[in-house]
Chains A and B, each alone.
Chain A
């Protein structure tokens, strides 16, 4: 495989723009409840509660009116991982055998564990796509800022986000230059050396650019704080969402314990 294939998975945010009910919610509420919900689901073990979580995550995805093709593309990667789990775990677990042939045996605990992982990961990712991926990264940064995540960290997130696209273009330029000179990636030291210098050059250019950016920011009076302008308008929808999420989370806990 060559390097050309990588950025076919163009870095972009397919869910960030939309007109659904979820898109119109206050990002702060979405971040908080997505976090609490994800952690709750990750801690579940009983099947009634797990299945309820899966169903609710699907509802969330429907409410956010996510594009089915984009969702399945993203879930496909997870399915590959889950397939591996289903191939390996039922055979390697110790416990009561459900079915055995020769020295191999499919065990019940192995099947249960695989099923738990499958439901949990799909539920958490669907909820993440529906609530967090439905805002732009800039909005996410603003929400995190208001939620009192350390300013330096939010600032770092914004700068990294801003420059990923620039650095990617830089990378494409370097890669074109390498290809024009007839480079073909192979399994040999020359190829690895070329990759190493390519990556080294990427870091060098990033660092020199950072120096310039830093100076430019200082020139414009940067004093170490990123002020986020704009506010999140209050709306009754946010409280409906909060009530919904809170009741679902409590229901999950009740189902889990009972």
Chain B
């Protein structure tokens, strides 16, 4: 069962920015706590950029401006991750003011206090955060890994992982240090994405794209996987996997793959798509996805490939899945060993975002869920990337949680499996409105959260799934301590918060199935 939510809150109904390139963190210790990110500027300006937070399992989202380095579009690249047990949130960003890599931390993700800066480093790209927790002795430690493309590394070995074995509370840099995962010659750099997969037994996989030869825009690359078997704790992390073909560290999954760097498809740029995931039930099982141009220099395609290894990355299958003209693959494996793949495919006139679930590497037809399909020509691009250079899928237990960006036109035809909007939207007229319900707002790119579970979903907006659905009460006033001369508290019954709109209390039950008609299922005019 799928549930999809537009993450823009009602109070930001007037915005029409390109909130692209999303990311997501789900707190494994409390999966109703989530953090999302996108290219979203602080709505009222200031030095701090926002994160999206949810404390009710993704039903509702709000923003907190807590990330240092707010620029015209928020931060640059930003990704997030919760440690497994501590509830501590880690972020990797390109600071929106300086462009520097920032590694950040907060123990209170929903607070309005700025995140703590742990690392600040220039000449960087695309930080990608993965975090876990491990008990050492009797002490729980957060182990945090941040893939990045570090142009400060020597010899063009730019594919890098910053890691800390105990990042939870230590003062900056909290143990973080960069380690290149590239051991071969490059054109002077690796591709932007360095992706990670962490297993609870201490196995850490890192995937990167080694740029082997060529010059702009024609690049030839190898897809490479490195591995560490003990959390990256040794003197030379990510050295466990040696390619017998050249006896060098890093197993080449695919070689000689062609990239037309910065080619445009459906208003979006292409060039760096990569994902890796490990089976939580068996760290020997690992999956990888990437994109390249099968047609070579004269080709026009952008083809997504998925392969798997069952021996800790030493050997790999042929392609078990390909999708032509698709980008942003993101893989995750759930507690049953089932693989999830979310990607965005360009059909020539539309961007189609879909989730595929397979328990047998597509040996039999996968479960396919179209999350979103919308015209690719609108809205007009403000900047690159249009949808994002990445999206994200996570598995928590046997559930999948993910995030993508797309055209926010409120049209049920664009959401064949339903959607819930927080911002003011009329699904009958397909129009967006400001908070007053009168002023029309232009369509733009928004982030969307989605949740797949095998169990029925019974949700009401703002209500935790397992809670019986009852009329929402205004915020209860706590007994106020007499800190200051205080005014008598007014009877709570008089409060009528405008944010509580009866139409949104209607539960959405198993949105999958027949397309909701006007006024059904998906939220209509939320005012």
A and B, one complex? no
Binding site for A on B (CB under 8 A): none
Binding site for B on A (CB under 8 A): none
